[in-house]
Structure 1
């Protein structure tokens, strides 16, 4: 096995386990339940789960989506998130080679975690966005021959630009137009894609948001006045597409 193949295999093997961890975090973080250094248990019968219960993808299918003790249904989110992380790893392997495959997979997995939490709770906690940004600085410097200030400028531009837009909106309209976590998320994304990629992230995010709004209108589920959309989820989509394909101006050029 070559080094490049080893990086790809690592991403594919780790993917379902990271997906299982995402499933745990997306349930426990919003509920303010402990997630570090705590054993997984069945939410119904409270039995501590063993190895046979915790093998990603395989356990769910083998147990037919039921707890083997009490028969309670295992949330489908685990299977979907584990499968989603595996798809992200496969996409990463098709798009890149070498260590960049694993770096891209980790980038996608963290975006999936952040997007899921925001979509379900309209919440972008600093405990997710700040480590994501710090990892972006490390990853950018590790895999790219760029000056040390490049990811820092990207982070500052992402946070400052969106924070300024939010401030102007509040001044003009008299109320907040976006959550406080959105600028910090875009700052973290800027550490990964650089300041050059930020306009593309915002364009893709707007396209994704408009697509959701149009889809809701088509099924006669128009947005109610004051209803919020998870902009962080759309930013995650924009970040993923920008990382894969680069800034839009480069594609059009």
Structure 2
């Protein structure tokens, strides 16, 4: 294992702690970067040793050092998930270069979007929109190393098809039912997916994304 990948695994839980802050603070408009972490019950500012990824939660047993209130398992859970994504990137992606870092960063952002969407039914533009140029940039970088195979055009088409397809479905649904059924946040996220996987990969991504929604009602009916 390379030194870069070892550092990625050590860095991942720290990223997870920051992602947990994004999940809690971003939808409510609270400051993320410059705001001090504090207990929501007694509002005591947390010290550095209260925020050591994974370790502090175990030592404090998930409670505030000052008032003893339950802090919750969100931060620890996201830290573990961020570490799991980093492990996946190290094991699956080519070990040389920055691909494991790029794969982990993409996974971390998608994890954050999934958690925010599950908690608040919201996909913030500040997280989804940067994924579009990032996917095209990574594709262009890989295209240069494969002697100009034209991948960038396929991924650009993927972004356009992804956005146009979902936004079109949302428009049709609204015209037929008279209410919103699919927000533009989903269309922007699908544009980002297209920028990363290309137009040919959109079908499989949509299938895997829709599968839980199809399996759930089917399981209830059975």
Q: What aligned pairs does 1:172-211 form with structure 2 within 5 A after superposition?
A: 172-211=176-215
Whether 1:90 aligns to 2:87 is: yes
Question: Displacement, 1:6?
Answer: 2.5
Q: Equivalent residue for 1:225? A: none
Is 2:63 the partner of 1:59? no
Residues 1:113 and 2:112 aligned together: yes
Per-residue CA shift, 1:200-226, capped at 9, x if unaligned?
1111112122123335x269xxxxxxx
Q: Name stretches of at least 5 consecutive residues in structure 1 with no aligned partner.
A: 220-253
Distance change >3 Å, CA 190–CA 51, structure 1 → 2: same
CA–CA distance in structure 2, aligned partners of residues 54 and 151 of structure 1: 40
More displaced stretch, 65-74 vs 148-157: 148-157
TM-score under structure 1 length normalisation: 0.78
Residue segments in structure 2 that go unaligned for 5+ positions in a row: none
Instruction: Report if the CA contact (8 A) 1:100-1:143 is conserved.
Output: no
Quick one: distance in 2 between partners of 1:132 and 1:11? 20
Q: Which residue of 2 aligns with 1:238?
A: none
1:46 to 43, 46, 56: 43
Partner residue, 1:136: 135
Q: Distance in 1 between matches of 2:141 and 2:64?
A: 43
**Distance in 2 separating the partners of 1:82 and 1:23:** 8
Selected match of 2:69 from 72, 76, 90: 72
Q: CA deviation at 1:160?
A: 0.9
Which residue does the alignment assign to 2:11? 14
Preserved CA contact (<8 Å) 1:24 1:35: yes
User: 1: CA distance between counterparts of 2:18 and 2:216?
Assistant: 27
Aligned-partner Cα distance in 2 for 1:38–1:139: 32
Q: For 1:13 and 1:139, how far apart are their aligned partners in 2? A: 24
Pick aligned residue for 2:33 from 14, 32, 36: 36
SS in 2 for 1:70: coil
Aligned residues: 215
Residue 136 to residue 10, structure 1, CA distance change in 2 (3 Å): farther
RMSD over aligned Cα atoms? 1.9
Which ranges of 4 or more aligned residues in structure 1 deviate by more than 6 Å?
Answer: none
Stretch of structure 1 that moved more, 195-204 or 161-170: 161-170
State the partner residue of 1:126.
125
**Deviation at residue 28 of structure 1 after TM alignment:** 0.7
Deviation at 1:96, TM superposition (A): 1.2
Larger mean Cα displacement after TM superposition, 81-90 or 137-146: 137-146
Gap change, CA 1:12 and 1:214, over 3 Å in 2:
farther
Structure 1 window deviating more from structure 2 (4-13 vs 86-95): it is 4-13
Q: Would you say 1:102 and 2:101 are equivalent positions?
A: yes
